[in-house]
Amino acid sequence: MAPSPRASSLSCVLLILALSVALAPAPASATGVFRVRRKFPRHGGVLGEAEEHLAALRRHDGRRHGRLLGAVDLPLGGVGLPTETGLYFTRIEIGAPPKGYYVQVDTGSDILWVNCIRCDGCPTRSGLGIELTQYDPAGSGSTVGCDQEFCVTNNGGVPPSTCSSESPCQFRITYGDGSSTTGFFVTDFLQYDQVSGNGQIAPSNASITFGCGAQLGGDLGSSNEALDGILGFGQSDSSMLSQLAAAGKVPKIFAHCLDTVNGGGIFAIGNVVQPKVQTTPLVPNMTHYNVNLKGISVGGATLQLPTSTFNTDESKGTIIDSGTTLAYLPDSVYKTLMAAVFNKYQDMAIHNYQDFLCFQFSGSVDDGFPVITFSFEGDLVLNVNPHDYLFQNGNDLYCVGFLNGGLQTKDGKDMVLLGDLVLSNKLVVYDLENQVIGWTDYNCSSSIKIKDDKTGSVYTVDAHNISTAWRFQWHESLILLLVTTIWSYLMF
């Protein structure tokens, strides 16, 4: 016997509800880390789209190279994969009352800056599916004068030559691709999530000084990958981390775990006690996170490289930088590495797309290609699996994520620059108090444990992905609508 129309409709509603619940992503639980989001897709589509992805990657990392020459929970979003967004970002809150701003998390630069209201050339829309907000210093902020201590310290210990009693402290950053940001420094309240228990946070705030961007130039004004600004986690006293540490708010230690499987990951300020990581010393008196590279091996065989590969100064050496998507090697190192990677495929047709080496391959790349191992001072190693350094662009088309630094930028041509390509799916700890950095392979969709130095308590901090938050909210609304619909069927 055929069901009644009301029964049929109710059955459909129940089916839709079941599917919605099954397909809905699990809600991100509140924790004490920055929620990060990724900016470029891991896997591309047809070849034409793949070529555009590759071009976008080069433009993005070109900007990063330019910058290299120049217990808190942050919600993390984005994906560091070459074919995804190519960066991670977080949402911070500034002002009283606070407003939210999306900023790129960047270990290769120092200051926090956001676009100011009435900014010249600043984008008003973003292709990342986020709402952009321009900061208004007329709210609770105060302009930093050029004769104030912060400005004098950041100008080599003397006031700027054009400084007058009414002049604001100005900044200008020019990147490798010619893009730039110009503005002035302001002081305001930063609102952040302090870890207060297992998977729990409590609101806290501190007064910090940051850049108010009044003018953007070049690709920084592009709406395709637009954010509200950049949050630098460099070592200088002007960084947000240094300011919070100087105020006694946090230890000068932070960690990230960048998830290329589900996106987002973990970004936390504080002393990580689990998992334990082995460390290597940071090279002293360097602007960036330089480490001493001791050797590179492919499939267990050590490469014979020029001794200059292991030298360290402002133009040579090895830098760890989460703001760079790919990995860059000096010309001689790159050629030797590629020869070893493709040693058993000497007859393979390898094509050059946007300076990426690409090839056709069917089957598992982990079975067909070797593991690359970077060895550092202190017996710390960084293993890079084939599925990490080979990314898929189309059906059976793979490209190598290592690039020849000599072809990318003259300033970094002699550097080994290791970005998200090798850092993803690892917990990386930056201990600036002891001047060491370390890492371990880790599931970045899980959690870590951080010690609260003020109380001695150890708390669990979970992973986040603010990239998918809007999808969860949509599912919540849909489920509520369906439940309401079902209730109306039962009542009438």
Which pLDDT belongs to residue 1?
A: 42
* Segment 75-97 mean pLDDT: 79
Residue 394 near residue 83, CB atoms below 8 Å = no
* Rounded Cα gap, residues 146 and 149, in angstroms: 8
* Segment 209-225 mean pLDDT: 84
Report DSSP letters for 148-198, one per residue.
Answer: SHHHHHTTTTS--TT--TT-B-EEEEE-TTS-EEEEEEEEEEEEEEEEEET
How far is residue 436 CA from its own chain's centroid?
20
* Segment 356-377 mean pLDDT: 96
What is the CATH number that goes with domain 273-446? 2.40.70.10
* Residue 8 main-chain phi, psi, to 5 deg: -65, -45
% helix, strand, coil for the chain, step of 5: 25, 40, 40
Which pLDDT belongs to residue 456?
A: 86
**Whether residue 31 has pLDDT greater than 60:** no
Question: 39: closest CA among 200, 224, 231, 315?
Answer: 224
**Whether residue 28 has pLDDT greater than 60:** no
* Segment 15-41 mean pLDDT: 42
Which pLDDT belongs to residue 398?
A: 94
Read off the DSSP letter of residue 422.
Answer: H
Which pLDDT belongs to residue 160?
A: 85
Which pLDDT belongs to residue 242?
A: 94
**Whether residue 94 has pLDDT greater than 50:** yes
Question: 149: closest CA among 140, 159, 141?
Answer: 159
pLDDT (tens digit, 9 = 90+) per residue, 98-137? Answer: 999 999 888 888 899 999 998 998 988 888 888 999 999 9
**Whether residue 314 has pLDDT greater than 80:** no
Which of the four pLDDT bands, split at 50, 70 and 90, describes residue 38? low
* Rounded Cα gap, residues 121 and 128, in angstroms: 18
Which segment, 42-51, 52-61, 406-415, is predicted with the most confidence on average? 406-415
**Structure-model confidence comparison of residues 99 and 405, the more confident one:** 99
pLDDT (tens digit, 9 = 90+) per residue, 434-453? Answer: 999 999 999 999 999 999 88
Q: What is the CA radius of gyration of the chain?
A: 24
- Dihedral sign (CA 116, 85, 241, 266): positive
* Rounded Cα gap, residues 163 and 168, in angstroms: 8
Neighbours of 42 (CB within 10 A): 19
* Rounded Cα gap, residues 351 and 329, in angstroms: 19
Question: 92: closest CA among 233, 258, 284, 274?
Answer: 233
* Residue 476 main-chain phi, psi, to 5 deg: -55, -45
**Whether residue 336 has pLDDT greater than 50:** yes
Residue 225 near residue 207, CB atoms below 8 Å = no
* Residue 350 main-chain phi, psi, to 5 deg: -110, 125
CATH class, domain 35-271, is mainly beta
* Segment 359-374 mean pLDDT: 96
Which pLDDT belongs to residue 384?
A: 96
* Rounded Cα gap, residues 417 and 399, in angstroms: 18
Query: Which residues belong to the active site?
Result: 106, 321
Structure tokens at 33: 């880390």
**Whether residue 479 has pLDDT greater than 60:** no
Structure tokens at 470: 């809007």
pTM, full prediction? 0.82
**Whether residue 366 has pLDDT greater than 90:** yes
Which pLDDT belongs to residue 49?
A: 66
* Segment 63-80 mean pLDDT: 65
Half-sphere exposure of 27 (CA within 13 A, CB side): 9
Which pLDDT belongs to residue 175?
A: 63
Which pLDDT belongs to residue 409?
A: 58
**How wide is the angle at C-alpha 142 spanned by C-alphas 140 and 147, nearest 5°?**
170
Which of the four pLDDT bands, split at 50, 70 and 90, describes residue 65? low
**Whether residue 176 has pLDDT greater than 80:** no
* Rounded Cα gap, residues 333 and 196, in angstroms: 47
Residue 439 near residue 366, CB atoms below 8 Å = no
Locus of tokens 């309401």: 484
**Structure-model confidence comparison of residues 337 and 57, the more confident one:** 337
Q: Strand (E) positions, 218-303?
A: 229-232, 253-258, 265-269, 271-274, 278-281, 290-291, 293-298, 301-302
For the chain, where do the domains classified as CATH 2.40.70.10 start and end? Answer: 35-271, 273-446
Which of the four pLDDT bands, split at 50, 70 and 90, describes residue 492? very low
